[in-house]
C-alpha cells in the first residue's frame, strides 16, 4: 500500500502536460492542450489535457484520468508500477511501507534532490573540463565525433587528478558525494585516516540521463590502454542500471521519427551511431537487458531492434534480451535481432560498409519468432527423438512466461512442426494458460440510488475543488443526510478524503483517492473531466448557495410535517415560527450575496 499522502505529493510535483507530452504530441489551445488520442484511432484531435485539473480527457472515446491513470492505460502498468515510474522520474522515492513517517519521507526526497544536484554540478564541471583537454578532444576526433554530437550527449572529461571535484564542491567531505557515487571513501581500520578520492579520473565522461533529462549517473571511458576500459557509476538511489537505458532521453524524437529503436551494447555505440546518422539508438548500461528495459522501450515505440556484436558475448546478450522480451511482447509489437559479422560492432560496421548497408542490415534483422526457434533448437539434433524432446524442454520456460497471444500461438506452432508434435500437444504438455474470454464484469450494482439535483451539485463542486470541503460544516452534513441519505453517504466519504488532504487538496489527487473506493464516483469524475475550468471563487459561492438550498428544503419539510400534525402543541407553534424566521434569514443571505456579486 502506497500512502495516500505520497500520491498527493507526487501529483503535486508532476505536470500532466510533461507526462502525456512524452507520448502524445500536444498543442496548446486556450487553457488546455490537445492532441491525437492515443487510445483510439482519430485524424483530428479530440484528446485534451488540462494543466489546472491535472487531468486528461478524450471527447472521442471518453478516456480520462490523472498522470498515474495515463501511464497505467498507455503503458499497461499497474497502479503501483505507474506510481513508482512517475516517482522515479521526479526524483521521489516511493516509501516502502506506510509506516514511514512524513518526516522520514521528506528526508528521503530531500536526499534524492541533494544527489541530483551533485550529479548536475559534476556534469557541468566535466563538460567544462573537456574544453581544455587536448588528449580527450583528440580521442573524440579520432573516433569521428563532432563537437555537435559531443554537446548533444553532454560529453565531458574527468581530469587526471585524485580530487579534482574538490574545486566544484565546497564540502568535499559531504556524504552526498559518496552516496552519489562520485567520490570513493577509503578509511583506515580505526577511521583515523580518512581518504577520499574521485571515482572518475582521466576519463571521457558520458552522463547518463533519465527520461526527464536529469543526470543520474556517469559512464567513463579511459583514454589510453588502462583498465577498466569502461567504468560506470555504482547503483545509487538515483541510478539503477536495470532500469535505465543510455541515450533514451536524447533519442526519443528520433525513435518516433524512425519508427523504431535500436538497442546496442554500449554508450560508445550510441554516440557513434548518432554521429553516423542513426540517432534512434540506445544502450543498456553494462548489464543484460531486463524486462523493465523492454517495457520502457515498448512505451516509446512498437518496433525494437536489438543489435549485438558478432562475438560470443554478443550472442549471450542476445539470448538474455530474448528472455526479457517474452513477458513483454504482444501482438502489435515487433522485436528483431540484428547480428553483425564477428569482427564488427555497429560503429565499425557503418565505417566499413556505409550507412546504407547498415540500414539494410537493420531492415533484414531476424524476427523474434525465428531467433526463438533457433535458440531453443540450437544444440539439439532434431533427427532424434531425444533432440526434439530437448528442444521442447528448452522452449518450455520461455513459452510459459508469455501471456496468451497470437504470437505465442505462432511460436508454439513453429515449435510443434520443428519437433514433430502438434500445437495442442505442446500447449497441454507445457500447461500453457489458455486465453480466458475477457468477460467484462458489470460493475457491482450499487444499492444506493445515484445522487440527483442539489446533492449531485454539491458533490460535483467538492470533487472539482476539494479544498472547498473545509467550508462544509457538520450541521450542513446533517441537513444533507436528512434530505437524501444516499447522497450523504457519498458526501461523508468524499469529505473524509478531501479534508484529510488539507489545503492542497486538488481534483487529480482526489480522483486517485476515489479510484480505490469503488465506482460510486466514476460517472461524476467523467463528467467533471469534460467540463471547462471553473473559477474557484465563483464555485465557492455556488456551493454556499447549494448548501443554503439544502438547509431550506430540510426546514421546509420540517414545517410541512409540523403542519400535518395540526400544530397543536405550543412548542410546535414556536418551532414553526422559528423556522419561518430561519427561512427568511436564508432568503436575505441569498439576496445579499446576489447583490454583492
Using CB under 5 A, list all residues that contact Zn ion.
37, 39-40, 58, 60-61, 63
Residue 199's CB is within 10 A of a number of other CB atoms, namely 20
Q: For residues 36 and 223, which CB has a smaller minimum distance to Zn ion in the complex? A: 36
Residue 586's CB is within 10 A of a number of other CB atoms, namely 15
Crossing angle between the packed helical segments 4-13 and 67-75, to the nearest 10 degrees: 90
Q: Which three cell numbers stand for residue 361?
A: 542490415
Q: For residues 61 and 563, which CB has a smaller minimum distance to Zn ion in the complex? A: 61
Q: For residues 3 and 60, which CB has a smaller minimum distance to Zn ion in the complex? A: 60
Least CB distance to Zn ion at residue 38 (A): 8
Least CB distance to Zn ion at residue 253 (A): 23
Residue 464's CB is within 10 A of a number of other CB atoms, namely 22
Q: For residues 44 and 434, which CB has a smaller minimum distance to Zn ion in the complex? A: 44
Q: How far is CA 76 from the centre of its chain?
A: 10
Cβ distance 311 to 342 under 8 Å? yes
Q: Report the C-alpha gap between 159 and 164 in whole angstroms.
A: 7
Q: Is 262 helix (H, G, I), strand (E, B) or coil?
A: strand
Least CB distance to Zn ion at residue 64 (A): 9
Least CB distance to Zn ion at residue 27 (A): 16
Least CB distance to Zn ion at residue 378 (A): 45
Least CB distance to Zn ion at residue 57 (A): 9
Q: For residues 61 and 151, which CB has a smaller minimum distance to Zn ion in the complex? A: 61
Least CB distance to Zn ion at residue 511 (A): 18
Q: For residues 29 and 406, which CB has a smaller minimum distance to Zn ion in the complex? A: 29
Q: Which three cell numbers stand for residue 53?
A: 485539473
Q: Work out the angle at residue 442's Cα, subtended by the Cα atoms of residues 437 and 447, and round it to the nearest 5 degrees.
A: 160
Q: 336 - beta bridge partners?
A: 305, 367
Least CB distance to Zn ion at residue 59 (A): 8
Residues 6+ apart with CB under 8 A from 519: 443, 444, 446
Q: For residues 61 and 110, which CB has a smaller minimum distance to Zn ion in the complex? A: 61
Least CB distance to Zn ion at residue 33 (A): 15
How many alpha carbons fall within 13 Å on the CB side of residue 220?
28
Helices (H) and strands (E) in the chain, counts: 25, 16
Q: Work out the angle at residue 589's Cα, subtended by the Cα atoms of residues 584 and 595, and round it to the nearest 5 degrees.
A: 125
Q: For residues 4 and 46, which CB has a smaller minimum distance to Zn ion in the complex? A: 46
Least CB distance to Zn ion at residue 36 (A): 9
Nearest Cα residue to 50 out of 63, 34, 38, 70 = 34
Burial letters 489-519, b for 16+ CB under 10 A, else e? ebbebbbebbeebeeebbbbbbbbbbbeeee
Q: For residues 14 and 58, which CB has a smaller minimum distance to Zn ion in the complex? A: 58
Nearest Cα residue to 549 out of 454, 453, 452, 460 = 454
Q: For residues 57 and 105, which CB has a smaller minimum distance to Zn ion in the complex? A: 57
Amino acid at each position: 500500500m502506497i500512502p495516500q499522502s505520497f500520491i498527493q505529493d507526487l501529483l503535486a510535483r508532476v505536470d500532466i502536460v510533461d507526462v502525456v507530452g512524452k507520448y502524445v504530441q500536444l498543442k496548446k489551445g486556450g487553457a488546455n492542450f490537445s492532441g491525437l488520442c492515443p487510445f483510439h484511432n482519430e485524424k483530428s484531435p479530440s484528446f485534451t489535457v488540462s494543466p489546472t485539473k491535472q487531468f486528461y480527457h478524450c471527447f472521442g472515446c471518453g478516456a480520462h484520468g490523472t498522470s498515474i491513470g495515463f501511464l497505467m492505460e498507455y503503458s499497461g502498468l499497474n497502479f503501483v508500477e505507474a506510481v513508482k515510474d512517475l516517482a522515479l522520474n521526479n526524483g521521489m522515492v516511493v516509501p516502502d511501507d506506510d509506516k514511514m513517517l512524513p518526516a522520514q519521507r521528506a528526508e528521503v526526497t530531500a536526499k534524492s534532490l541533494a544527489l541530483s544536484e551533485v550529479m548536475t554540478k559534476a556534469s557541468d564541471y566535466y563538460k567544462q573540463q573537456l574544453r581544455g583537454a587536448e588528449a580527450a578532444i583528440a580521442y573524440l576526433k579520432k573516433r569521428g565525433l563532432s563537437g555537435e554530437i559531443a554537446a548533444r550527449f553532454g560529453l565531458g572529461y574527468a581530469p587526471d587528478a585524485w580530487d579534482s571535484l574538490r574545486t566544484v564542491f565546497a564540502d568535499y567531505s559531504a556524504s552526498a558525494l559518496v552516496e552519489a557515487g562520485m567520490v570513493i571513501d577509503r578509511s583506515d581500520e580505526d577511521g583515523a585516516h580518512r581518504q577520499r578520492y574521485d571515482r572518475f579520473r582521466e576519463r571521457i565522461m558520458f552522463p547518463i540521463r533519465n527520461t526527464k533529462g536529469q543526470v543520474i549517473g556517469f559512464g567513463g571511458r579511459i583514454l589510453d590502454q588502462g583498465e577498466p576500459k569502461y567504468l560506470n557509476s555504482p547503483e545509487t538511489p538515483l541510478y539503477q542500471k536495470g532500469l535505465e537505458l543510455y541515450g533514451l532521453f536524447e533519442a526519443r524524437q528520433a525513435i518516433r521519427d524512425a519508427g523504431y529503436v535500436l538497442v546496442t551494447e554500449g554508450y560508445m555505440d550510441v554516440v557513434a551511431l548518432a554521429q553516423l546518422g542513426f540517432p534512434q539508438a540506445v544502450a543498456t548500461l553494462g548489464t543484460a537487458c531486463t524486462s523493465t528495459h523492454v517495457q520502457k522501450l515498448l512505451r516509446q515505440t512498437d518496433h525494437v531492434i536489438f543489435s549485438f556484436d558478432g562475438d560470443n558475448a554478443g550472442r549471450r546478450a542476445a539470448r538474455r534480451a530474448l528472455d526479457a522480451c517474452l513477458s513483454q511482447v504482444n501482438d502489435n509489437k515487433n522485436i528483431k535481432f540484428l547480428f553483425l559479422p564477428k569482427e564488427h560492432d555497429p560503429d565499425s560496421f557503418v565505417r566499413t560498409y556505409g550507412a546504407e548497408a547498415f540500414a539494410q542490415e537493420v531492415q533484414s534483422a531476424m524476427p523474434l519468432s525465428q531467433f526463438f526457434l533457433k535458440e531453443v533448437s540450437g544444440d539439439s539434433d532434431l533427427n532424434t527423438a531425444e533432440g526434439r524432446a530437448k528442444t521442447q524442454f528448452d522452449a518450455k520456460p520461455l513459452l510459459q512466461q508469455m501471456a496468451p497471444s497470437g504470437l505465442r500461438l505462432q511460436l508454439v506452432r513453429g515449435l510443434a512442426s520443428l519437433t514433430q508434435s502438434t500445437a495442442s500437444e505442446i500447449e497441454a504438455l507445457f500447461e500453457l494458460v489458455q486465453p480466458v474470454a475477457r468477460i467484462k464484469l458489470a460493475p457491482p450494482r450499487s444499492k444506493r440510488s445515484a445522487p440527483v439535483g442539489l446533492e449531485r451539485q454539491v458533490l460535483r463542486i467538492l470533487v472539482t475543488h476539494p479544498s472547498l470541503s473545509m467550508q462544509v460544516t457538520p450541521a450542513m452534513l446533517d441537513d444533507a443526510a436528512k434530505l437524501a441519505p444516499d447522497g450523504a453517504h457519498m458526501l461523508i466519504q468524499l469529505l473524509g478524503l478531501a479534508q484529510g488532504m488539507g489545503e492542497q487538496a486538488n481534483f487529480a489527487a482526489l480522483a486517485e483517492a476515489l479510484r480505490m473506493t469503488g465506482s460510486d464516483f466514476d460517472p461524476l469524475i467523467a463528467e467533471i473531466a469534460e467540463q471547462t475550468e471553473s473559477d474557484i471563487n465563483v464555485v465557492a459561492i455556488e456551493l454556499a448557495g447549494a448548501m443554503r438550498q439544502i438547509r431550506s428544503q430540510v426546514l421546509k419539510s420540517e414545517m410541512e410535517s409540523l403542519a400535518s400534525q395540526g400544530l397543536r402543541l405550543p412548542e410546535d407553534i414556536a418551532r414553526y415560527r422559528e423556522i419561518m424566521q430561519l427561512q427568511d434569514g436564508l432568503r436575505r443571505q441569498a439576496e445579499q450575496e446576489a447583490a454583492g456579486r
